[in-house]
C-alpha cells in the first residue's frame, strides 16, 4: 500500500477529509521521513516546533470549517518569510529575524497548508554551491555527488527525495525550473507578478517570481491555483491535448555544443509523444540565445547590486566569497547597459507573444544536460547551460517537467512556455505528457546518511 505521504496532494486531502488519516499522523510521518532521509540530502535548514500542534488543530476542526488543503505539509525556500521561523537566506550576512508570513505563504496557509520546514537555498539566491554558508549545499537525491541546481536547491531535493510533495521556490533566471529538471520533478514559474512577492527577499525584482516545485504536475497546479486563483491552473488537468499546436524550438538548443546528446533525443521523443497524443508539433525559430542570456545577466546583476550594496558596505566579511564576487560585478554596469538590456528583453517578449499568437504553447529544454558534479565547483561558480533566463525577462509562465534520463542515469527536463496568464494551458500539457511518459520515477534513498562534506 502506498504511504499516504507519497500520494498526490488531492488524494492526501481526501484522506484527511474522510478522517482515514489524521493531519497529525501525516505530519508525524513527514517529520519521521525527514529524520531518516535528510541527513543524506541537506534539504531542510529549519523545522517548526509547532507543526504537530498545527496539524492537531485541523484534526479538531469540524468538517464544515475545514479548508481545501487543511493539514497538508508545505516546505518553503529560506528567502521567504514564515511566521515564527527564521529567514537566513543561506547567508551569514543576513540578520536573523522572524517576521509574519510572506504573502505567498499566507495564501497557502489560508488554504489550510502547514508551512513547517524552511529549505536550503544558495546564498541570497545568487550563486552556485559553496561551503562558506551557514549550511552545506543540498545534494541531488539521484546521486549525492551531483548538485540539485539553484537557487531553490533545498526545495528540489526535498520534493525529489520524498520528504514532502510540494515546496515553494523562487525563479529569477531559472531557479525553480533548473532544480526541477536536475532532480526529476515538476517546477512551475508563473507569469510575472501572478503571485505576490511581499515577504520574499528580492534578488532582481524585474525577474523574480515565486512558484511551486512539486512531485507531479497536478500537485503544482493545485498549489498554483491557491497562490493565484485567477489562473485556474487545475482547469485543464485530465483533458486531452488533441488539436493543440505546440511550437517546438528545436533550433534553440540542438546545435549548441553544450547540449547533451541524450537531451536532444529526449526532446525529440517528447515531441513525438505529444504528437501521438494529438497535438500538432510545429518547428519554430527563436532569437539567438546568447545575447538574451547576456542581457538577462546584466539586468540581474544590476538589480542585485542595488539590493545589496548598502549591506555590503557594512557586512562585507559576512558574505560568502562567491556571493561577493557575484554582486560586485553589478557595480560596474552603467545605466546605458541596463537600458540596452531592457530593450533586448522587450523585443524578446514581443517575439514570444508573436509566436504564441500562432501556436498554443512552446516546447524547449529546461537545461541542456543533467546536473553537474560538486567537484566541478571546487574553484567557484561555473556556467551551466540552460534555456530559462529569457523567459524571466519576458514574464511568460513556464512549466518544467521530466523528459528523460542522461547516460549517467540523472534526470533531464523540458519546459512548456505559455501565454501570459495561461498557467492552466501549460499545466494541461504537462499533465497529459506526464501520464503518457515514464519519467516520473523517484530516486532510491538509502537508509544510512552520507557525508555532506565537499565532494
**Residue 406 region, left (φ>0) first, then alpha (ψ -120 to 50), else beta?**
beta
pLDDT of residue 53: 98
Does pLDDT of 85 surpass 90?
A: yes
The rounded distance, in Å, linking the Cα atoms of 145 and 344 is: 37
Mean predicted confidence (pLDDT) in 336-353: 98
The model's pTM: 0.97
* Catalytic site positions: 77, 151, 175
Q: Tell me the per-residue pLDDT of 7-51, one tens digit each, with 9 for 90 and over.
A: 999 999 999 999 999 999 999 999 999 999 999 999 999 999 999
Q: Residue 141 in contact with residue 158, Cβ under 8 Å?
A: no
How is residue 140 written as a grid cell?
541531488
Q: Tell me the per-residue pLDDT of 266-324, one tens digit each, with 9 for 90 and over.
A: 999 999 999 999 999 999 999 999 999 999 999 999 999 999 999 999 999 999 999 99
pLDDT grade for 127, boundaries at 50, 70 and 90 = confident
Residue of 130, 138, 118 whose CA lies nearest to 93: 130
Q: What ranges in 48-206 are assigned the alpha helix state H?
A: 51-59, 103-110, 153-160, 177-183
Q: Residue 312 in contact with residue 362, Cβ under 8 Å?
A: no
Q: How far is CA 99 from the centre of its chain?
A: 23
Q: Using DSSP bridges, classify how beta strands 44-47 and 114-119 pair: parallel, antiparallel or unpaired.
A: antiparallel
Q: How far is CA 416 from the centre of its chain?
A: 14
Q: How far is CA 66 from the centre of its chain?
A: 29
Q: Tell me the per-residue pLDDT of 407-431, one tens digit each, with 9 for 90 and over.
A: 999 999 999 999 999 999 999 999 9
For residue 77, the cross-strand partners are 119
Half-sphere exposure of 146 (CA within 13 A, CB side): 20
Residue of 396, 435, 436 whose CA lies nearest to 416: 396
pLDDT grade for 96, boundaries at 50, 70 and 90 = confident
Q: Residue 70 in contact with residue 23, Cβ under 8 Å?
A: yes
Tell the CATH topology of 4-436: Amidase signature (AS) enzymes (3.90.1300)
Amino acid at each position: 500500500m502506498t504511504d499516504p505521504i507519497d500520494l498526490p496532494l488531492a488524494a492526501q486531502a481526501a484522506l484527511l477529509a474522510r478522517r482515514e488519516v489524521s493531519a497529525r499522523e501525516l505530519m508525524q510521518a513527514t517529520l519521521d521521513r525527514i529524520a531518516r532521509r535528510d541527513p543524506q540530502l541537506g534539504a531542510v535548514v529549519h523545522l517548526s516546533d509547532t507543526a504537530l500542534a498545527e496539524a492537531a488543530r485541523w484534526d479538531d476542526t469540524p468538517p464544515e470549517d475545514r479548508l481545501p488543503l487543511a493539514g497538508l505539509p508545505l516546505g518553503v525556500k529560506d528567502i521567504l518569510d514564515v511566521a515564527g521561523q527564521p529567514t537566513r537566506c543561506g547567508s551569514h550576512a543576513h540578520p536573523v529575524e522572524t517576521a509574519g508570513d510572506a504573502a505567498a505563504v499566507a495564501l497557502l496557509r489560508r488554504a489550510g497548508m502547514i508551512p513547517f520546514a524552511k529549505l536550503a537555498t544558495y546564498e541570497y539566491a545568487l550563486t552556485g554551491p559553496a561551503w562558506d554558508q551557514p549550511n552545506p549545499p543540498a545534494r541531488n537525491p539521484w546521486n549525492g555527488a551531483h548538485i540539485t541546481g539553484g537557487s531553490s536547491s533545498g526545495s528540489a531535493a526535498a520534493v525529489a527525495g520524498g520528504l514532502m510533495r510540494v515546496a515553494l521556490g523562487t525563479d529569477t533566471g531559472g531557479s525553480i525550473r533548473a532544480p526541477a529538471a536536475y532532480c526529476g520533478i515538476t517546477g512551475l514559474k508563473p507569469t510575472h507578478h501572478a503571485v505576490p512577492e511581499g515577504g520574499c527577499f528580492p534578488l532582481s525584482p524585474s525577474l523574480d517570481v515565486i512558484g511551486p516545485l512539486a512531485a507531479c504536475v497536478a500537485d503544482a497546479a493545485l498549489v498554483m491555483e491557491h497562490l493565484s486563483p485567477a489562473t485556474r491552473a487545475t482547469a485543464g488537468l485530465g483533458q486531452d491535448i488533441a488539436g493543440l499546436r505546440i511550437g517546438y524550438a528545436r533550433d534553440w538548443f540542438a546545435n549548441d555544443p553544450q547540449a547533451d546528446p541524450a537531451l536532444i533525443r529526449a526532446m525529440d521523443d517528447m515531441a513525438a509523444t505529444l504528437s501521438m497524443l494529438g497535438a500538432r508539433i510545429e518547428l519554430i525559430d527563436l532569437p539567438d540565445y546568447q545575447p538574451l542570456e547576456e542581457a538577462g545577466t546584466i539586468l540581474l546583476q544590476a538589480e542585485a547590486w542595488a539590493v545589496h550594496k548598502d549591506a555590503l558596505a557594512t557586512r562585507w566579511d559576512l558574505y560568502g566569497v562567491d556571493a561577493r564576487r557575484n554582486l560586485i560585478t553589478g557595480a560596474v554596469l552603467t545605466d546605458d547597459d541596463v537600458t540596452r538590456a531592457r530593450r533586448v528583453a522587450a523585443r524578446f517578449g514581443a517575439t514570444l507573444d508573436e509566436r504564441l499568437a500562432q501556436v498554443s504553447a512552446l516546447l524547449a529544454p529546461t537545461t541542456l544536460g543533467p546536473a553537474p558534479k560538486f567537484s566541478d565547483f571546487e574553484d567557484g561558480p561555473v556556467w551551466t547551460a540552460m534555456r530559462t533566463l529569457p523567459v524571466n525577462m519576458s514574464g511568460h509562465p513556464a512549466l518544467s517537467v521530466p523528459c528523460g534520463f542522461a547516460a549517467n542515469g540523472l534526470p533531464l527536463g523540458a519546459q512548456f512556455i505559455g501565454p501570459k496568464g495561461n498557467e492552466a494551458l501549460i499545466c494541461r500539457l504537462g499533465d497529459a505528457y506526464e501520464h503518457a511518459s515514464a519519467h516520473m520515477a523517484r530516486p532510491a534513498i538509502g537508509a544510512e546518511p552520507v557525508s555532506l562534506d565537499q565532494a
